[in-house]
Amino acid sequence: MAAKEDLYAKVTPRRQRQTRPGTIKHGSTLDVLLSMGFPKTRALKALVSTGGKNVQAACDWLFSHVDDPFLDDPLPREYVLYLRPSGPLLQQLTHFWQQSRLACGKNKAHNIFPHITLCQFFMCADGKVDALCEALQTTVTKWKGRIPMPLPLELYTSSTFIGLFVEEQLAEVLKTFAADFATEAAAKADVHVEPHKKQLHVTLAYHFQANHLPILEKLAKNVDASSGCDWLAVLFSRDIRFANHETLQVMYPYVPQNDDELELVPGDFIFMSPVEQSSASEGWVYGTSLGTGLSGLLPENYVNRADESDTWVVHGSHSILNCASPLTSGSTVGGLLFDGHLNESLLDSLIDSPSLPGLCPPMQVSRSTSQSSSSKMRLFVCRHGERMDVVFGKHWITQCFDSKGRYVRSNLNMPSSLPARSGGHRDYDKDCPITVFGSTQARLVGEALLESHTTVDFVYCSPSLRCIQTAQNILQGLQLEGKLKIRVEPGLFEWTKWVSGTCLPTWIPPAELTAANLSVDTTYRPHIPVSKLAVSESYDTYMGRSFQATREILAECKNQGNTVLIVAHASSLEACTRQIQGLSPQNSKDFVQVVRKIPYLGFCACEEMGETGVWQLVDPPHSASYTWA
């Protein structure tokens, strides 16, 4: 076991791993993946497909793509260099995007975020991506201070197109910048980049209905093109196999009923090509999953149309105004990047409601300081660790349990033992445990809290086994295992609409959890008992339930301790913190967009503002945690 601990130790010390600003720099990350036994081609593909973020993201990708028939396909990804606006101009453009979509529906411009194209799409081998990122960094550094700001933009409209064009003289400067990048890319990465030769512009709308022109033109004239802006040179990539496919997003889970059907996980993306639909009957579509690489039939009403750029990966982002402070791969671009993937759908919710838990741009977060009163109540909300059924698929139970219900793990990332269940091992189908790596993740979060001298006075938990095991390991890292009991609160369970089938999971009762050496408080009386949970509850019911549970938990702990930890689900980071800040719930579509990007052990913190009963988001105390990009 000591050897396994040594292996995980290689994954965690992010603060010791220094990288060149603006590059993905796989380096030691690749070495760790190779030491874990992954072939180099697969390891590189995983790193590139996740933006070179970290070992955890690459491992997650590899585990989820274990059955991908194209996993060993040598076809490289396709890259492009864009200039992206930020600051007040981005807000202006985002407002235009919102208003035009509401007034006229979606047009072709909505498929990709506001940008200026600097080059055509080009190919780059996975092993050359580090060098390509270095080429961009070198080019940006060379051009520091040489591009006049702000960029002069002029509105142009026609019967089929509306855009903001860069003034010709300055456009030539940007084209020279792009040409220099092409030279560096050829020298460092041996790739051919074709700089954009047409007029440089930001597209506002195109391929719209003719009767929409007056409305769109009026909205475009309200955009103040002279608004303050820092332009970011951003390197994106996409899977070339799906460049001409329609992008769909999974809204509801689906368990296949036949061999030719595709399992659906909420938040995943599906690539659909019209030429592949001949095998699909009415109400069904044929597509390929971004999350697994598998293809199959799926019910059409389980997915919604998404934007093409939602599946793109960011490999480097650099300010051309302030080149000394580039954004590195895996950081946020305008607060909209998670796990290396761009989350364009979050734009709207950030503009309308900037106080999303754990997702706020730095200037919008109320930062806790050493001067903060020690008497203030704090609330931590944490997502569970890596789950077994996501890593090993829905058939892990049949692989690990024999005909007599005895468990034997078939992979070292599976726990060595599992709690006995009075209802039998089939109950694990809807109530899965966490992996060995998930347990390690959770323990490291606890250790980070301990290192930051953070105390936890109460722990509340969803009844899901994966959440209880995560809480137990966090307490172990905090050196509080056995000293602090976990209070199992059914009201903290996730939105029941996401539960497959017609009934809720059968959870392990507290007495049996205690018998399995889990530190559960068997005397705790839940605020919302299991009997109050309903299958397929509405979104409003779920948000109301989460708010009620959180509010009553905080009231229960008032004057008895300062810090409450809730360990639950990805959705809990939003559902348990939004309304205590005095904010109304956002619409369900935006809610899903936020939740799907929260990683395992995602963590947010809130602090009560005096005795007002109003809470505000603050920085989590364990900033060194590797679980956030």
Report the SS3 class of residue 312.
coil
**Catalytic pick from 115, 318, 383, 622?**
383
Distance CA 452, CA 244 (A): 49
Sequence-ordered list of residues with C-beta below 8 angstroms from that of 144, at least 6 positions apart, any chain: 323, 324
Distance CA 343, CA 530 (A): 34
And the tokens for 417? 């033992």
End-to-end CA distance of the chain: 28
**Catalytic pick from 77, 201, 341, 384?**
384
- Secondary structure (DSSP) of 377-441: -EEEEEE---BHHHHH-TTHHHHHB-TT--B--SSTTS-S-----TT-GGGGGTS--B-HHHHHH
In the block, tokens 């030691």 appear at: 28
Q: Catalytic: 384?
A: yes
Q: Catalytic: 65?
A: no
Distance CA 130, CA 506 (A): 48
Q: Which of 430, 291, 359 is nearest to 586 (CA)?
A: 359
Give the per-residue SS3 of 69-118: CCCCCCCCEEEEEEEECCCHHHHHHHHHHHHHHHHHCCCHHHHCCCCEEC
Distance CA 226, CA 220 (A): 13
Report the SS3 class of residue 161.
strand
- CB-CB contact of 43 with 158 (8 Å): no
Within a 13 Å sphere around the CA of 341, how many CA atoms are in the beta-carbon half?
27
Distance CA 110, CA 93 (A): 11
Q: Catalytic: 383?
A: yes
**Catalytic pick from 26, 569, 578, 622?**
569
Residues recognised as catalytic: 383-384, 569
